[in-house]
């Protein structure tokens, strides 16, 4: 399988004079403002999510990193392998197959942290997995790409976006660290910040999705095969991540977390790598895949959250009915017990109001056990 990217113009350094098509033009100040605003908003969002983390739980994940290890296995084991199988099964064009593989080799995205919060997942594990996968991407991305493309006779030099990885780490770790500190010092205020951040996160996801589609409207094409892969790829990631976590005896909370972390990829990192490695002519055929993947992983995430919240609400109503039934039974038992107590007290009062000195019979009654008092009436 040859990528047909071996010409000298394929190198970004040699293609600086080549004009971008309309769909890939830089939109000047608008795109710059969108990038800056989305970065700042994402930093504030990660700060609010960091307010849900506890140092004790975070340290337990570091001391016994079984959940993190399972997540990394899913991220750099299952996802690249799934991407390779999809590229082979659908007989994709060389450049399209490389785009799918690069997406599978990318680390987890911060979008998974938002969805994890909405499904009551393990936030400490979620953010730890995102951070560890981003750090591991420095070595695992080139390794996975090399292992899966060596048989393709790829002559195009792929550029790993190390600068983008570094920026992602900074935008992730610093706000989260501040959030952890706020939760440690002011736990009550951190809960309010967390609730506000969850709402802002949902709005931010919608804004980023719509703005991304509008800014890259010229990059879309009607390739049904790529759209099909971009639809099933995140679903496969969610299902296989959940099954692997379940197979390794993780808790249900961790299973939900690992599932969301596996299916949600860093879309921006994939797009940056494609732009650094390929010419505008090839990008026209490739950029539609990460854009469609990002859209479908948003849809899948919202569907998972909706399904979980519906299940949670039904379970809560079911438990509420059981508790109300138990309350009625307990109330009936209390009424019965109070009646028996009143009857017992009436018997004692009848024996106590009899005037005169106690006779032999009264002394005998006084010495009888309490349970036999009623039988003396």
Q: How confident is the model at residue 223 (pLDDT cuts 50, 70, 90)?
A: confident
Residue predicted with more confidence, 27 or 91: 91
Residues 82/236, Cβ–Cβ less than 8 Å? yes
pLDDT for res 327: 62
Share of the chain above pLDDT 70, in %: 71
Residue predicted with more confidence, 343 or 80: 80
Range of lowest pLDDT (203-207, 255-259, 287-291): 203-207
Residues 184-187: contacts with CB under 8 Å, at least 24 apart: 184/54, 184/55
- Structural domains for the chain: 32-318 (1.20.1530.20)
Tell me the average pLDDT across 218-247. Answer: 87
Residue predicted with more confidence, 357 or 288: 288
Q: Evaluate if pTM is beyond 0.85.
A: no
Write the burial class of residue 303 (CB in 10 Å: 0-12 exposed, 13-18 middle, 19+ buried). Answer: exposed
Q: How confident is the model at residue 31 (pLDDT cuts 50, 70, 90)?
A: low
pLDDT for res 76: 94
What is the pLDDT of the chain when averaged over all its residues? 77
pLDDT tens, 242-282? Answer: 999 999 999 999 999 999 999 999 888 888 888 888 887 78
Residues 161/276, Cβ–Cβ less than 8 Å? yes
pLDDT higher than threshold 90 for residue 234: yes
Count Cα neighbours of 146 within 13 Å in the Cβ-side half-sphere. Answer: 7
Residues 86-95: contacts with CB under 8 Å, at least 24 apart: 86/229, 86/232, 86/233, 90/225, 90/228, 90/229, 92/225, 92/226, 92/229, 93/285, 94/1, 94/2, 94/3, 94/4, 94/5, 94/152, 94/154, 95/3, 95/4, 95/5, 95/278, 95/282, 95/285, 95/286
């Amino acid at each position: 399988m040859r990528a047909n990217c071996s010409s000298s113009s394929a190198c970004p350094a040699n293609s600086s004079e080549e004009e971008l098509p309309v769909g890939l033009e830089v939109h000047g100040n608008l795109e710059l403002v969108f990038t800056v605003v989305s970065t700042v908003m994402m930093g504030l969002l990660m700060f609010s999510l960091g307010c849900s983390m506890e140092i004790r739980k975070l340290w337990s994940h570091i001391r016994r990193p079984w959940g993190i290890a399972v997540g990394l296995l899913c991220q750099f084991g299952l996802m690249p392998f799934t991407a390779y199988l999809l590229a082979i099964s659908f007989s994709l064009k060389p450049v399209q197959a490389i785009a799918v593989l690069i997406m599978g080799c990318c680390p987890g995205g911060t979008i998974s942290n938002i969805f994890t919060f909405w499904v009551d997942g393990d936030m400490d594990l979620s953010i730890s997995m995102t951070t560890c996968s981003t750090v591991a991407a420095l070595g695992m991305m080139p390794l996975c790409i090399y292992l899966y493309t060596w048989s393709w006779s790829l002559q195009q030099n792929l550029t790993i976006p190390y600068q983008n990885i570094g920026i992602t780490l900074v935008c992730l770790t610093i706000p989260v660290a501040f959030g952890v500190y706020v939760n440690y010092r002011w736990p009550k205020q951190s809960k309010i910040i967390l609730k506000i951040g969850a709402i802002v996160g949902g709005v931010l996801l919608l804004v980023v999705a719509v703005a991304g589609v509008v800014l890259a409207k010229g990059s879309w094409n009607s390739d049904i095969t790529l759209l099909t892969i971009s639809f099933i790829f995140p679903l496969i990631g969610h299902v296989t991540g959940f099954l692997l976590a379940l197979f390794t005896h993780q808790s249900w909370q961790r299973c939900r977390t690992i599932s969301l972390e596996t299916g949600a990829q860093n879309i921006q990192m994939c797009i940056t790598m494609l732009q650094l490695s390929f010419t505008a002519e090839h990008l026209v055929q490739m950029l539609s895949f990460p854009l469609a993947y990002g859209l479908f992983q948003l849809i899948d995430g919202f569907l998972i959250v909706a399904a979980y919240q519906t299940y949670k609400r039904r379970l809560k109503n079911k438990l509420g009915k059981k508790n109300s039934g138990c309350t009625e039974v307990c109330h009936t038992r209390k009424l019965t017990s109070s009646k028996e107590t009143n009857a017992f007290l009436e018997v004692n009062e009848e024996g106590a109001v009899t005037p005169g000195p106690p006779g032999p019979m009264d002394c005998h009654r006084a010495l009888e056990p309490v349970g036999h008092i009623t039988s003396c009436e």
